[in-house]
Structure 1
Amino acid sequence: MNYRHIYHAGNFADVFKHIIVTRIVDYLKRKPQAFRVIDTHAGSGLYDLEREEAQKTGEWRHGVARFFNQPFDEKNRSLLAPWLETLQHFNPDGALRSYPGSPMLVRHLLRKQDRLTAIELHETDYETLRQMFAGDYQARILHLDGWLALGAHVPPKEKRGLVLVDPPFEENGEFERLVSGLEKAVRRFAGGVYALWYAIKDYQAVERFVRQLRASGITRILRLELRVRAPSPTPRLDGSGMIIINPPYTLAQEMAALAPVLLQQLGEDKGANLVNDWIRSEEKTL
């Protein structure tokens, strides 16, 4: 397992993913009942953008740096607020040096009654994450294969929550594992919100994935994709997507409202676009 997220922390895919995650968490907080977030591929939690690895790729300069301390209008700032305020919390002097990964981002947003389960397989990243959350009674850090969590850790005892699945997509069969794991998890925790991240490199694989989801029988599947450029002639990360099962009823409208600013800040050419549609819903199948 060679993937290390420090090389990619804060890139356009992180920005897109984490804005969606914060909108979901913000929605879950509207009810007083406790909820749990299960992060199956948690990483190391907090990334130093001044480290050699982050500086080497510089991907964050074309992602989070285009949002940090920017004067967005009131509507956009309201929707981006949970994410932007978390960035400011971890960069209190106004200089962008750190990027919070999903477990740290989620933990910052939780209320006293809410809980986080963060799962990481990479030995070094797990140990970093464990030390970072040492003594935190609201966080449970596990050294496991995150794919196992889809069967072993749902439903949470809170009976409400978000399952975030964010694999590195460095091995063959990741799309198939997503569908298989999701089907098992939904049978155990049908009312949960699921957010599945995927890379857009192999367009045929993405379309097969969508067809498999449509055929799965799972209802209420929202597809959100940010493509920052036209398809490349050779495989590269042209975009990223999030499949949301049981999304908040506000999410599709919120992402439609954010589409112009996301494309303006992250788009690289005229081929940039944001896909926002239903694969399956109670009302219709697209």
Structure 2
Amino acid sequence: MSDLILHHYPPSPVTEKIRTGFGLKDLHWRSCEQNRLPDRPELFAMTGGYRRIPVLQIGADIYCDTQCMFHALEAVKPEPSFFPGGSDGMPFAVSRWTDRELFDSAFRVAFAPVFENLPPAFVADRARLYLGPDGDLAKELADLPHTLAQLRAQIGWLETRLATGRSFLLGAEPGMPDLLAWFIVWFVRARYGEAESFFAEFPALNAWADRMGAIGHGTSQPISPTEALAVAKAARPTTAEQSDPRDPQGLKPGMQASVAPTTDSGETAVEGVIRAVSRDTIALTRTSAECGEVAVHFPRVGYRVSVLD
């Protein structure tokens, strides 16, 4: 099997889900550090312009969105599972809360108090991405008490769950729900200046966070974006053609299509030829001189697939 290559940058909160997932499964991976702003020509050659971080690369198969990455890593190494105790399916429903409502509050709490001290280009990029076309971190700063109340209540749900004596959210073993909650706690702890005071009322969650931090990130070696691009060019996608006769949109392999997030985040749609389609995922074949043929994978939930004329 080709190396697991993670395109990321160290402070990326969403990437912390996957890095700790590597640790949970004790995986070896290659760390491809990317720019914090979307100036990533080698990565864009592979993804077709998908600008979010992280991206998982396995040879010439490119996985966008952590929903796809969890599926891919579970297939690479089924044990220990991301779904202990037969919890398959449920964590993806939980992710719709952690990655949207919970992350929205965490982002505002982490960025609003310090936005004036950050590079303007970085602030503008993240405000557009996460707050929409009218995003304004100055307004978010004025509304911070409300946002903290929202975040506090949601962190309280996790505290209530862990206060029952469980070591992890599903019981004795860590799983995907822990990774989904961990990246939020990790992010707020690292970025919010009053984090110690904020989390002081959550002793069970703090003990759990210590256990999560101890999982680590597996083992990694660096790889440059240029080297990762060469890996893709030298490989061929392993994803087989797949149809779904029950697909509500009538999507079929061979169709030209585009995929874009359903949020109003100003992102460019990725275009390609449908290679595989299922209830949960879609893969597009893309070919370019820079990387050869690749299969770019997306989840169905949270993304709009449009057939191109």
Q: When the two structures are superposed, what TM-score results if normalisation uses the length of structure 2? A: 0.28
Higher relative contact order (CA 8 A, sep 6+): 2
Q: When the two structures are superposed, what TM-score results if normalisation uses the length of structure 1? A: 0.29
